[in-house]
Amino acid sequence: MTDSDRSGESRKKIEALEAEIRRLKKVQSDLAESEEKYRLLVENANDAIFIVQDGRVQFPNRRGRQIGRELDLNLENVPFIEYVHPADREMVIDRHLRRLRGEVLPHTYSFRIIGGNGREIRVALNAVLIQWQGRPASLNFLRDITAQKELEARLEQAQKLEFLGKMAGGMAHDFNNLLMSIRADACAIQLGTDTTARQRSMVDGILNAVSSGESMTKQLLGFARKENYQFSATDINILLDKSIKMFRPSYPGVTIQKELQNRLWHATADPVQLERVFINLMVNAGQAMPGGGTLTLATRNETVGRQRAARLGLSPGQYVQVTVADNGPGMDDATLKRVFEPFFTTKAKGHGTGLGLACSFGIVQSHRGSLSASSRPGEGTRFDIYLPVWSGKASLKTDSEAARHRKTIKISS
């Protein structure tokens, strides 16, 4: 082989080597680009993404780390399962172990997580079996569905209360007609010339019972949202002070703590109806603290964004928030879920109709607002009201005679 042939062969080898180097660089570049795309996809996902192996969470993405911070999770030193709600823990462990054994299970299921700070959320987990560093592991996609579950619960409650409201309204009308007939007959007996004193006394008892029944039907009609409302720009701070004056004499052992915001926005409200709500909530708190306690009343201006509005069943916008909270014994979850149901009461027989909170709920709903309750045993109870801000004109008006003669607080905006 001549020197020229050897030189040509060397050039070919060099060219081939350069081509291979370019190919490898291209592969490396493509791989790096692909890894960057997947990294961006994983890091910017709305779901928490992480690997679980040997009970430990590894390589959580940005959302996973965010949830960890919000719940104060110490995942480096504490196994993830320790943060699963005790009532759900056995189910989560069972599913994880069965998946590692290769059993075919539904990919997605939900459970509750309790953070190191005591905050509880509900999550949906989608887990896929993988091999990680030569050993079985699971790739997990976790989504916080707390707001979704709260909204579903509110919709379910609203539908149930709407049905109960319609039924209660129909019953109230029929019962009211019956009471009118009883009152008319009782009055005729009372006015009779041959009526004895004992009979008149008995008729007085009948008329008192009729009056109580009429009061109950009025509450039922209020719950059914069949009352007339007269809306105006209302200063909630002033209305709360008025309600306190009516509440305080009956519950002298209750300390009232006010946290009222200055320059509070005017709310769109019927003051007469809303005063009923405030007094109902205060009385409910007072009855929960028979030995005395603290009743906290707070107001604040709130701009409610889309996500929170959806959770509360409101339209996004500006609201006046009113909080009525007590430090009484609180309620368990079963009681809390039924707190706005008509005729549901925890009081002894003869000491309550179970209509106060139900009527309050109906009144606030008629204001296109929101009334919600939160409570835990031993931690008191809190009611939060959201009322739309006055926009310069009432969204609902009435021209009934009852409304014309109703006392209404008018405040210029």
Within its chain, how far is the Cα of 20 from the centroid?
Answer: 63
Q: How confident is the model at residue 204 (pLDDT cuts 50, 70, 90)?
A: confident
Spatial separation of the C-alpha atoms in residues 219 and 277, rounded to whole Å: 12
Strand order in the sheet with 56-58: 56-58, 48-53, 135-144, 120-132, 108-114
Q: Is residue 407 part of a domain?
A: yes
The mean pLDDT value for 7-27 works out to 76
Question: And the tokens for 82?
Answer: 């320790």
- Tens-digit pLDDT profile for residues 350-383: 444 556 787 788 889 889 999 999 998 988 999 9
Residue 194 and residue 82 share a domain: no
State whether 302 and 392 are in the same domain. yes
pLDDT band at 297 (very low <50, low <70, confident <90, very high): very high
Most confidently modeled of 17-26, 51-60, 189-198?
51-60
Residue-averaged pLDDT of the chain: 80
Tell me, what's the pLDDT at 407? 34
* Same domain (yes/no): 102, 182: no
Which two tokens mark 316?
Answer: 């996004």
Residue 42 in domain: no
106 and 169 housed in the same domain: no
Residue 98 maps to a domain: yes
Of 205-214, 344-353, 375-384, the poorest mean pLDDT is in 344-353
Same domain for 280 and 173: no
CATH number (domain holding residue 284): 3.30.565.10
pLDDT tens readout for residues 45-62: 888 998 888 878 888 888
* Amino acid 345: pLDDT: 66
Has residue 43 been placed in a domain?
Answer: no
As for how many domains the chain has, the answer is 4
> Is residue 281 over pLDDT 90?
yes
Contact 81, 89 (CB under 8 A): yes
Does residue 346 share a domain with residue 413?
A: yes
Q: Are residues 400 and 315 in the same domain?
A: yes
Asked if the structure places residue 41 within a domain, the reply is: no
pLDDT attached to residue 399? 34
Q: Of 94, 116, 144, at which residue does a domain stop?
A: 144
Please tell me whether residues 373 and 253 are part of one structural domain.
yes
Are both 384 and 284 inside the same structural domain? Answer: yes
Determine how β-strand 48-53 pairs with β-strand 267-269: unpaired
The whole domain housing 16 covers 1-36
Looking at the structure, do residues 20 and 165 belong to the same domain, yes or no?
Answer: no
Please report whether residue 200 resides in a domain.
yes
Q: Which of 226, 241, 273 is the last residue of a domain?
A: 226
- What residues contact 60, with CB distance under 8 A and at least 6 apart? 48, 49, 50, 68, 75
pLDDT at 405: 33
Mean pLDDT of 11-30: 75
Other residues' Cβ atoms within 10 Å of the Cβ of residue 219: 21
Question: Would you place residue 118 in the very low, low, confident or very high pLDDT band (cuts 50, 70, 90)?
Answer: confident
pLDDT band (50, 70, 90) for residue 400 = very low
In a domain, 364, yes or no: yes
Residue 406 confidence (pLDDT): 33
84 three-class SS: strand
**Whether residue 360 is found in the same domain as residue 272:** yes
Q: Provide the percentage of residues in the chain whose pLDDT is more than 70.
A: 80
pLDDT band at residue 165 using 50, 70 and 90 as cut-offs: low
Neighbours of 64 (CB within 10 A): 23
The confidence score (pLDDT) of residue 124 equals 92
Q: Is there a domain that residue 333 lies in? A: yes
Are 242 and 373 in a shared domain? Answer: yes
Check which CATH number belongs to the domain holding 70 and give it: 3.30.450.20
Among the candidates 144, 176, 211, a domain finishes at 144
SS3 106: coil
Residue 24 has pLDDT above 90, yes or no: no
